Amino acid sequence: MNRLVIGTRASKLALAQTQTVIARLQQLYRELEIVIEPIHTHGDRVTETPLARIGGDGIFVTEIERALRAGVVDLAVHSLKDLPTAPPEGLLVMVPGPREDVRDVLVRRRDFLGSPAEPGVRIGTCSLRRTAQLRALYPQAQILPLRGNVDTRLRKLEAGDYDLIVLAAAGLRRLGLSEGLADRLECLPVEMLLPAPGQGALALELRADSELLPLLAPLNDVEVQAATSAERAFMRHLGAGCYLPVAAHAWLADGRLHLRALVISLDGRRVVRVQGSVAWHAEQAPRLAAQLGVMLAEQALAQGAEEIIAEIRAASTV
């Protein structure tokens, strides 16, 4: 193959993420011509409606996968957390490393000197996962909906619509914005605000019969793929979608694959927390990741997670 067409969302962040993949490919294959095909997805076009109400899983990937299956593009680059957890028919997903910072961050408006715990403070986010956990952390704050790309969200913050907003650390770093915002950023530890499954990781998607597989193999990271697979297996076994308040974070330490996860009600008052680990063997990574995710999902279901998810789904259809 002499020419590679990569499909991705048309947002500044998606294009920046794709450029990191291109840089790595060009280090390996200097003669390869690489072209980006920006694709506008349903989630990009509908910017004022909460994500949970505009179609759920796949709203940022469906059009890209359609172009991939049709042969319009050869490879797709996604934020892994945007991908549905069900295996895509006729497609393969590979997770490159390294994984970016998985944490969420609070960004303060320039003239706001207060605390997120103060009564009436306005905190903006588009995520039900963040909304629910923020309500538990800061019960006196107003948690308000916030849509749009990173630049749009930052503009709304400075316009005075919010006192603080929550963003992913990974996105700010990939856009080169972290340093400029450093004096008004607060990184929230994962123990405080658990991230979305797959947060901070990219996904490379290709056709199952593609000749690209050996070309992309050097980019695959077994440890990152295992950690994110455990997180996503947890969510998939619960029957939960990308935009429900389900959080999970897996990591490798001391020869074990660890997973911490939760399911939380929208008001933040009911939380099911689970944690566990399995012995790590790289050659058995896919099986171990699935085993750990399913094991903790079963524990969460036994503790009432199914009822929380059902209530949230029922509320979102009202």
272: β partners:
263
Distance of CA 226 to the CA centre of its chain: 15
Q: Distance between CA 115 and CA 99 in Å, rounded?
A: 30
Dihedral over Cα of 16, 216, 223, 134: its sign: positive
Query: Is 209 known to be catalytic?
Result: no
Catalytic residue among 44, 74, 82, 221: 82
Residue type, 241: G
How far apart CA 170 and CA 166 sit, in angstroms, is 12
Give the 3-state secondary structure of 210-270: CCCHHHHHHHECHHHHHHHHHHHHHHHHHCCCCCCCEEEEEEEECCEEEEEEEEECCCCCC
Whole-angstrom CA distances from 216 to 48, 240, 281, 314 are 37, 30, 23, 41
Q: Which of 131, 122, 144, 85 is nearest to 104 (CA)?
A: 131
The residues carrying an active-site annotation are: 82
